[in-house]
Structure 1
Amino acid sequence: MGVLILLPPSEGKTAPVEGPPLDLASLLDAERLTSPRREVMSALDAVSQRPDGPAILGLGPRGAGLAKVNLSLETSPCAPAHQLFTGVLYEAARLDSIAEEEAGRRVLERHCVIFSGLWGVLSPTDPVPNHRLSMGTSLPGPGRLSAFWKPHLATSLIEPATRGLTVDCRSADYAAAWKPSSRDGVEVVTVRVERVDGDGTRRVVSHMAKRARGLLTGALLSAVSDQTLSAEACADDVAALAARLNGVDDVEISEADRQGRRVLTLVTRQQR
C-alpha cells in the first residue's frame, strides 16, 4: 500500500452551497462507524440548541451563529472533505488538484485519512456538510471525543496502517484519538515542525507548522501518484522528500522510541 497519511481537519471551512445531503452509509468504514457517528451527531444537536452550547463547543464570541450549522447536518448540502476543509494545511497540500483526476482520487482514498471530532475519520473524498466540533470537546453523553473515538478508530485503522508506513501529521487532540505503535505492527513517523529564530531559539509556530505539514502531505501524495515513492517507503525516504520542500532548511529524524515511533522534525527559519 505504501504510506498512510493521518491529517487533522481544519477550523477553516468553505461551506458548500449545493450538493447531496449527508449519507452516512457512504462515509469511510460506515459498517463500523455509523452507529458512533449517530451518537455524536445526536449529542451535538442537543448541545447546539442550548444557550451555553457555544461555550461547551469552544466557539468564542461568534459562537451562537457558528453552532447553528450543527442543527441541520442531515439536510445541509455536502462536499468532499478535501473541498470543505480550507485551512492552512489544506491550502498547502492542494488536495483539490490531486483529486481532479480519477487516479488522484484513488490515491487520496487509499493513502490519506482525516480525523474528525464528529465523524471519527473520513476519506478526503467523503461528502460531508459544514459543521463545528473539535476532537478536544467534551459532549454530554459521549464525553471527551478523543477518548470516545479511540476504541472505534483502533479497529478501523489498524488494517490499513499495517500495510505500509504511517505518516502522522495530526495535532495533539487528534493524535490522542488513536496512537499507533510497533506493538500493533504499525511503523509510524510523526511530523514535527520547528522554527529557528534569529537568536538561534527553536520553537513550534502553529501557522508555519500547518503549512509545512500541508506541503509534505501534498508532496507525498504526488510522489505516490507518479510512483516516485515506492510502496516500501521508509521514514528515511519521507525525510529525503521533506528536505526538498520549499521553506524547509533542514530535517532531523529520530531513533525509534519504545513504541517504535520516529519523529521527523522539519526545521524552518524566521522570515526577515
Structure 2
Amino acid sequence: MLVLLPPSETKAIGGAGAPLDHTALTCPDLNPVREKIAHALVELAADVPGSLAALALSERQADEVARNAQLRHSPTMPALSRYTGVLYDALDVPTLKKGERDRAHHRLAIASALFGVVRGGDPIPAYRLSGGSALPSIGPLGALWRPALEPALAAIDDFVVDLRSGPYATLARIPHAVTIRVVSEDGAGVRKAISHFNKAHKGLLARALSTSRAEPKNLNGLIKVAAAAGLRVEKTGDRTADLFAG
C-alpha cells in the first residue's frame, strides 16, 4: 500500500542527516527533473526580490529564500519529520513506536513540488516551493513534472490511496488510485465536502493506515482499518470514498 499525502508549506528546520543526495530518494527515474528544479531554485535564491515574487512570499519570509540558497548543503531529516502543519500534527510521527514509524516511513509518501514524490523515510532538507509555482528559468512546474511523474506513479504496483490536495494532484494523474473526500453530514443525511478539518482528518486516516499491522490491499480493507481506528469511511464508487469528520 502507498498513501500519498500533500506536503506543507511549513517545514521543520535543522536535521542530523547528510546533505541532499538525490540517489537516496524514492523513484530514481525522477532525478533528472529533481536536479533541474533544484538548480533553478538555488540559482533563483541569489535574487532575493525575484525569489519572493516567484514564490509568492513577503519580505518577512526572506529566511525561506536563504534556506533555498543552502538547499544542497543543509542537513536532512526523514520527510515525515520535515513537513509540519495540521495534517502532520494529526499524523503525530513523534509519538509512533519504532515498528509503527518504520511502517509509516514505508507506506506513506508525500507529493512535492521539488522532488515529485518522496517516501516518508526519504532524507530531505528544508526548502520552500509550491506545486503551483513557476520559476523564471524553467517555467511552470506542472509542465516539467507531468511527463516524468505520471509514468513513475503509474508503475507503482500497489494499492494507492491518493490524499493529495488540488495543486499537487494536477502534477500527475494516478488513474488506479483510490481518492478520499472528507465530508460532514447533516441531520437529513446530506453530505458536504469540508475544508476546515480536511487536513486533520486526512492526517488521522494516514496514521491509521500506516500504523496498522494489517496492510489494506483494497478499498474494503481500508474501510476496515479505518473503522478499527474509530474513523468512518464509506465507499462511494469503485475508487472513491467519503471520510466523515466528527
Report the TM-score range of the alignment, normalised by the length of the smaller protein. 0.7 to 0.9
Contact in 1 for aligned 2:110/2:120 (Cα 8 Å)? yes
Paired position in structure 1 for 2:85: 87
TM-score, structure 1 as length reference: 0.80
What does residue range 24-63 of structure 1 map to in structure 2 within 5 Å? 24-30=22-28, 32-50=29-47, 51-63=49-61
Q: Please give the alpha-carbon distance, in whole angstroms, between the structure 2 residues aligned to 1:195 and 1:245.
A: 18
Contact in 2 for aligned 1:108/1:123 (Cα 8 Å)? no
Cα deviation code 1:18-40 (max 9, x no counterpart): 4322222211123x122211110
Cα deviation code 1:41-92 (max 9, x no counterpart): 1111233333132121122452323222100111111111111112211121
Q: Please give the alpha-carbon distance, in whole angstroms, between the structure 2 residues aligned to 1:39 and 1:111.
A: 27
The answer to whether 1:142 aligns with 2:138 is: yes
Identity %: 35
Structure 1 residues 198 and 139, CA, compared in 2 at 3 Å: closer, same or farther? farther
Q: Please give the alpha-carbon distance, in whole angstroms, between the structure 2 residues aligned to 1:245 and 1:17.
A: 31
Tell me the SS of whatever aligns to 2:197: helix
Structure 1 residues 195 and 26, CA, compared in 2 at 3 Å: closer, same or farther? same
Paired position in structure 1 for 2:119: 123
Paired position in structure 1 for 2:159: 165
The answer to whether 1:251 aligns with 2:233 is: yes
What does residue range 177-256 of structure 1 map to in structure 2 within 5 Å? 177-181=171-175, 186=176, 188-196=177-185, 203-223=192-212, 226=213, 228-230=214-216, 233-246=217-230, 248=231, 250-256=232-238
Alpha-carbon distance, 1:263 to partner? 1.9
Paired position in structure 1 for 2:241: 264
Superposed CA RMSD: 2.5
The answer to whether 1:4 aligns with 2:2 is: yes
Alpha-carbon distance, 1:104 to partner? 4.3
Cα deviation code 1:198-253 (max 9, x no counterpart): 99875444341111111111101112xx2x345xx22122123334545x5x5332
Paired position in structure 1 for 2:168: 174
Q: Please give the alpha-carbon distance, in whole angstroms, between the structure 2 residues aligned to 1:61 and 1:207.
A: 28
Aligned length: 245
Contact in 2 for aligned 1:193/1:212 (Cα 8 Å)? yes
Q: Please give the alpha-carbon distance, in whole angstroms, between the structure 1 residues aligned to 2:79 and 2:196.
A: 21
Instruction: Identify unmatched segments of 5+ residues in structure 1.
Output: 257-261
Instruction: Identify unmatched segments of 5+ residues in structure 2.
Output: none
Stretches of 4+ aligned residues off by more than 6 angstroms: 197-201
Contact in 1 for aligned 2:76/2:123 (Cα 8 Å)? yes
Q: What amino acid sits opposite 1:236 in the alignment? A: N
Structure 1 residues 198 and 56, CA, compared in 2 at 3 Å: closer, same or farther? farther
Alpha-carbon distance, 1:154 to partner? 2.3
Cα deviation code 1:115-168 (max 9, x no counterpart): 1101111111111111000111111233221331112122322232x2x32111
